[in-house]
Amino acid sequence: MAFNRRKFLLGVGGALVGLPFLEGLAAKTARADDALPPYALFYRRGNGVQQALFDRKPNAEPERWWPQIPYGSITASKLAASTNSAIALELASYASKLAIVRGLRHPVGTQSGHREGFIQGLTGAGVKYPNDKPDAYNCDPLGESLDNRIARELTPASSMSMYMAVGAHALGGVSFLTAQDAQGKQVTRAGDENLLALYSRIFLSAERETEEAALRLLVERRKSVNDLVRDQLVALRKDPRLSKSDVERLNGHTDAIRDVEQSLSCVLPATLQGDLSTYQKSYDADWSKGSVVAKFGTVMSQLAALALACGATRSLLINVGEPQDVITYHDVADASSYDFHSISHRQSDDDRNAISNAQLMHHSIDRFHLQLFRSILDRLSAYRYADGTTLLDQGVCLHYSDIGSGQHEITQLPYLYVGSAGGALRTGLYQDESGQAVVKLLNTIGAAVGCKSSTGGPLDDFNASNNGDIRGRLTSLVAD
Amino acid sequence: MVRSPAPFLMLVVALVSGCDDDQHAPAPKPGPSTSATDSDDCVQPTCRNVPLPLSAHAIRLTHAQWENTVRDLLHLAAAPGLSVSFPSDPAPPGDRFGTAADSLLVTSALWHEYQRAAEALAELVVTTPSTLDALLPTAAKSGDDVAARTSAFVEDFLPRAYRRPVTPAEVAAAVALGARAAASDATSEPFLLQVRWILAGVLQSASFLYRLEGGEGAVVDGRSRLGPYELASKLSYSLWGTMPNDELRGYAASGRLSRPDTVTSIVKEMVATPSFDRTLVDFHDQLFRIPAFSGVVRQSKLFPKFYPQFGADAQEDVRRTIQDLIVTNPGTVADLYGSRAAWVNAPLAGVYGIDPASVPGLAAAPTTFMRVEMPRPRAGILSHVGWLAMQGKPKDPATIQRGVFVARHTLCLPIGSPPPAAAGKDPSQILAPTNRERVSGLTAGCGDGCHGGAGGVINPFGFAFEEFDSLGQLRTTDGAFAIDSTGSVPPLPNGFSLPSDFADASSLMALLSENPWTHACYAAHWNAYLNGTSDLRPTSAWLAPVVAKSLKGASVRDLVAELVQQDAFTTVSH
């Protein structure tokens, strides 16, 4: 990993500081455009979404995913008019930073299985059928996934994405490397389900304890000084003799202290290590993992935001559930009676009986995932720069499922992103891209964070040699 | 070097009254909020009943002030130099002194540097016995009662750091900061540990980093007077560039800074010190953009007398001249713009067209700077080779920039920004035989009131320097054609006028040296420097007493002393 772990140490109360690193970082990050380079975060969840399309019928169910508003620019108030849409219900507050990309499809699929979907979700490259005939259960990837491509190209010393998972039971199927295994298949990665171990690997230093202790003291004392100064500034701002511009300057001073303490200082939330430890115990005790997904969201969002803020990675993948998600979502009250895969098919996997209200259960799980996704956005937004932008603005966060709905549709794939990758992507829009291949969105995102094509231009040929030479970006999403 | 006003000046003053046609200054507002001067007593152009400037009440120290302050506060032998890593402050348009409060912000990057610098200084103090000994009061130097020693240190140090009496709560907060540090580390010597972190904290505190000028007492016409400690601090930072010393704080404590008569004597003492000499140098360094001289580069093929050290030598010339005129001697505004004094070494003498052999001692010591009299048509700082070369292009003089500088920075006449259509255009693009014709051709479409034509001042002022090439050397021809440096500026609607046409830079400088707008503009620049504003309007009535003294030949030192006793300096707006 390119990130230099040696420079990070755990401070008292969970404060994590990497002093040599920070001193260089803070000087460069007075403004967001001097800040960290763009990153990509991928949030993947399975089983498609509850939308009008189901079982390959365009209006089989009520629409509860896509906003029922015209395409074009979106605002919170416009989204609010679409009261049944999970996106509108959960992401309206991010409307200005959101792009809903409707109508994408995979180039290949039998429409009868999950595997073709989750293989292609981040590769956009079709699938390889070993028996040379379409087989939903026997297919392999054709190309690396974008999360690893970004890491490999932009952080060569750390050629894999940071990959967190919950309820995946060590199964792969979402993230792929260029390397091949002994059978000639591309290596499939499994997400890291031990977040405490992940945290330790990234942030806990191998420094000697004495150095840790010294830095811990320094962190503690700096906080004391900052508290003293903050108190002074608060008192000063209350002085009625001060003008508006005086107060604005003092507010800027207060913001600067916060910036240095938080986003620029790479400081962990005080309770994170403890939370991670608690979470991991819960996780390890729940074989099905169905009772810990909300807890996962709480710690995952903190850890993800911190890793990005500290520059530990530029590509981060979060996967919930086995590629074919069989979690029983105990955190979603009205959907806790069945596993998600059953719900997504509207019938029980056990007895094949129909599940009443399965559509609404699926919708509730969709909203739950968006809530987890939003918790990441909230964390990233809390890292603020002096110019008013946030860490969220510096990157792009993609939320997707690799099939359209529970019946394995490879069309109407539910992709959306939040964040402009430092201004490279358009946001605040609801875009119709009907019939376009997912790989064009992947090209768009890859290019936005800095990936190049084989000819040196912005990425527009990701896995093109494997997907029937589908090239190009979705220009409607590229900022001018 | 006190001079009487020229006869024509009296005529100008007599002719102009009210000055209400100043089209550039804002319309006077009803009500008071002005200094005592009324239009009956005003000296044109300072006749408008313009309200006193709005005040900032929390003004962050400039980086130079920070350096000087920590030097004095910690009794260091020299400024620590740590601000070299501080990010530069942005200068708002119009402000050329970097003292405007609006540009003195604490950004994330600066806060980080403040943090590092404070911690470094704190460590320096506690690890340098002599520095620590100088800083600690007697009661804190020794003893077993660490808490008592710490309190004694804080009670002595904090009022100096905050530049005012402190409250028990402030003392307690600082002591608590040290106590927290000690509580977390059982291995370090507790007193030094506490001192170290108290120092680090105080050096980052708002009361240290900001000059707080809220004013005290009754608010009259929207303003109140600075409190004695506030005034001590403002005087000290404005005139000395550093924190008030013990004597000045003593004046504040004794009430001497609350009485106008004693303030006058205190100011007189302050402007007679070497610290103020440095302020004089710093002000003129910025006023004439002397640091920019170092960027002058010319091709030796076009300018055989150019040499690599030209910029540095040209800086030395002007700085020594200002030192000579203003610092060592009681020089005046008229001297700045009219004196023929220059300081040259042998190479620079060559650029001036002076034979080094004609300067006693220079041939024997060619690197030594000697005082010389510049030959006509040179007069004033704007005729020194450094300034002229700074306002020069690789080949031709930068006539327009020279004219703009005179209009905007010598006379404070409002000059608009170039229109977008002027971007990328240069006189060299005009086919004409002389620089003057090329400039005229380029700017002809600008119309009246612009570069030339009726009301246009830029070109006439710029053309006055046509006898100086792009390196500041005297020239008699431009190619095959004789130089034309003549010009005239008809009276402007705002009241500005020259009593006669001018033949060259020397005669223009003679006119400007005695023009009230020059003196008012100079005072306005000092006002901006001292009060931290970017307001360079010379038309305010409260400048009138200063301008009147300047016109009568008062020294620059005395003018500044007068300015800091004006209400614009000693009161704050609310």
- Classify B232 as helix, strand or coil: helix
Angle between helix A209-237 and helix B168-183 axes, rounded to 10 deg: 170
Residue of B nearest to A237 (CA): B58
Residues with Cβ within 8 Å of residue A127, at least 6 apart in sequence: A108, A109, A115, A116, A119, A120, A139, A140, A141, A142
Q: Is residue A445 part of a domain?
A: yes
Rounded CA-CA distance B555/B277 in Å is 13
Q: Choose the weakest-confidence range: A26-40, A56-70, A299-313, B87-101.
A: A26-40
Give the position of tokens 């500044």.
Answer: B560
- Closest Cβ opposite residue A246 in set B57, B173, B215: B57
DSSP strand pairing (A315-320 vs A162-166): parallel
Q: Residue-wise over B290-322: b if at least 16 C-beta within 10 A, else e?
A: beebbebebeeeebebbeeebbebbbbbbbbbb
Q: Inter-chain contact B58–A257, Cβ cutoff 8 Å?
A: no
What is the pLDDT at residue A35? 56
Amino acid at A25: L
- Classify A57 as helix, strand or coil: strand
* CA–CA min distance B255, chain A (Å): 23
What is the pLDDT at residue B554? 96
Q: Kindly state the helix (H) or strand (E) to which residue B47 belongs, with its residue range.
A: none
Which residues of chain A does B200 touch, with a Cβ-Cβ cutoff of 8 Å? 221, 225
- Assign residue A367 a region (left: φ > 0; alpha: ψ between -120 and 50; beta: otherwise): alpha
Average pLDDT, chain A: 85
Question: How many other CB atoms are found less than 10 A from the CB of residue A104?
Answer: 25
End-to-end CA distance of chain A: 33
Q: Is residue A7 part of a domain?
A: no
What is the pLDDT at residue B448? 66
Residues of A with CB under 8 A from a CB of B: 23, 26-30, 217, 220-222, 224-225, 228-229, 231-233, 236, 239, 241-243, 245-246, 249-250, 252-253, 255-257, 259-260, 264, 385-386
What is the pLDDT at residue B5? 30
Q: How many domains, in total, are found in chain A?
A: 1
What is the pLDDT at residue B424? 66
Spell out the alpha helix ranges (H) of A131-243: 146-154, 195-203, 209-237
Q: Is residue A285 part of a domain?
A: yes
Cα Dmax for chain B? 88
Rounded CA-CA distance B499/B517 in Å is 13
pLDDT at B213 over 70: yes
Give the position of tokens 């119309």.
Answer: B447
Q: Choose the weakest-confidence range: A299-308, B88-97, B148-157, B546-555.
A: B88-97
- Comparing C-alpha atoms, which of A197, A177, A46 is closest to residue A123? A177
The dihedral sign for the CA sequence A50, A51, A56, A60: positive
Any bridge partners for residue A264, and if so which? none
Q: Inter-chain contact A224–B57, Cβ cutoff 8 Å?
A: no
Q: For B382-386, what is the mean pLDDT?
A: 97
The enclosing domain of A276 has a CATH number of: 3.40.720
pLDDT at A370 over 60: yes
- Classify A285 as helix, strand or coil: helix
- Closest Cβ opposite residue A260 in set B85, B112, B185: B112
Q: Choose the weakest-confidence range: A187-201, B92-106, B464-478.
A: B92-106
Backbone dihedral angles phi then psi of residue B210, each to the nearest 5 degrees: -115, 145
What is the pLDDT at residue B539? 72
Q: Inter-chain contact B206–A250, Cβ cutoff 8 Å?
A: yes
- Comparing C-alpha atoms, which of B459, B417, B405 is closest to residue B435? B459
Cα three-residue angle B212-B217-B223, rounded to 5 degrees: 70
Q: Is residue A63 part of a domain?
A: yes
B97 is written with which tokens? 């002194």
CA distances for A328 relative to A299, A351, B439, angstroms = 20, 16, 81
In which domain, by residue range, is A179 found?
40-204+269-477
What is the pLDDT at residue B256? 94
Which residues of chain A does B210 touch, with a Cβ-Cβ cutoff of 8 Å? 236
* CA–CA min distance B574, chain A (Å): 6
Question: What pLDDT digit, counting tens, does each position of B510-537 carry?
Answer: 999 999 999 999 999 999 999 888 777 7
ipTM for this prediction? 0.83
Question: What pLDDT digit, counting tens, does each position of A372-417 carry?
Answer: 999 999 999 887 766 678 889 999 999 999 999 998 889 999 999 9
Question: What pLDDT digit, counting tens, does each position of B25-67 carry?
Answer: 333 332 223 333 344 455 667 666 677 888 899 999 999 999 9
Question: What pLDDT digit, counting tens, does each position of B540-553 carry?
Answer: 777 888 999 999 99
HSE of B296, CA atoms in CB hemisphere, 13 A: 33
Q: For B167-185, what is the mean pLDDT?
A: 92
Q: Choose the weakest-confidence range: A402-406, A467-471, B457-461.
A: A467-471
Question: What pLDDT digit, counting tens, does each position of A113-160 carry?
Answer: 788 899 999 999 988 887 777 777 788 898 999 999 999 998 877 779
Rounded CA-CA distance B234/B243 in Å is 9
CA distances for B183 relative to B191, B192, B298, angstroms = 11, 13, 64
Question: What pLDDT digit, counting tens, does each position of A12-50 carry?
Answer: 233 333 333 333 333 333 334 445 789 999 999 999 999
Residue of B nearest to A23 (CA): B112
